[in-house]
Amino acid sequence: MPHLLNVWPSVSRQLAAASHVLLLFDYDGTLTPIVARPEMALLPQDTRRLLAELAGMDRFTVGVVSGREMADVAEKVGIPGLVYAGNHGLEMTGCGMDFVHPEAAAFEASVAEVSGLLREGLAGVPGVEVDNKRLTLSVHFRNAAESSADQVDRTVVTIAAPYVESGMMRITRGKKVVEVRPNLDWGKGKAIQKIRRDLGDGGDSPFTMFFGDDQTDEEGFAVVQEAGGLAVFIGRPREQTLALHQLESPTEVAQVLALLARLDRQ
């Protein structure tokens, strides 16, 4: 898996040849380092400045595709004019979009119900946080003892079982997080397809780059590469990712943003 900075000359030629480039990023672990608590994941000022600079250039459309609630990620990034996709793309705004998956709202009551049951069921496990994001929920256990990880996972599976078995919900996992989501054929991959399709109305679809670090980003990697774009995994090289390029950290993502900004001036 080539490091993106090591092959930048060839990548920059691809980008220079594209009339429109769509730059999409996960938030946690991609634009910001993974931290102990979700609310502590603050966007570095240099990264915010570069994202804003790129968003102001005609060649680029910039967006953030996150598992966070859309309002939360939009507030954390704080740049007007970006595309913001929250809850793994179940809700999106920007570039003329004001989208909520047509079936998602029907799950809000069930998500709230499962959240309440999980708070009760996990109350005795220190360091666990249940985050009701309205359309989905996340159980974070980064601050819990390593020995309790299996207990947390089993508890989520047990409590969510009636909803999963009925076909209403599904469980996904990421870095120190277990999520309960509506069982809809929708995720970051479908969200990216919609963004590309909406931007490409009346013309060619944009050349797309998607940067992500976790399991929920994999379907986005697949969609982007199938469309001839570039998927970039953030973290140590690993065989199980679908992404064909890699960066080590959010710091290196910021380095790429700086290179992209200079590309438009070449």
Return the active site residues: 26
Query: What counts of helices (H) and strands (E) characterise the chain?
Result: 8, 12
Token code pair at residue 13: 């030629």
* Residue 110 neighbours by CB under 8 Å, 6+ apart: 163, 168, 169
Contact call for residues 46 and 254 (beta carbons, < 8 A): yes
Q: How far apart are CA 257 and CA 253, in angstroms?
A: 6
Token code pair at residue 245: 């390029």
Q: Which of 233, 255, 229, 247 is nearest to 23 (CA)?
A: 229
Q: Are 29 and 253 in contact (CB under 8 A)?
A: no
- Asked whether the beta carbons of 241 and 218 are under 8 A apart, the reply is yes
How long is the chain?
A: 266
If you search the block for the tokens 């954390």, which residue do you land on? 76
Minimal CA–CA distance to 182: which of 131, 136, 130, 119? 136
**Are the CB atoms for 161 and 114 separated by under 8 Å?**
no
Burial of residue 168 (number of CB atoms within 10 Å: 0-12, 13-18, 19+)? middle
233: left (phi over 0), alpha (psi -120 to 50) or beta: beta
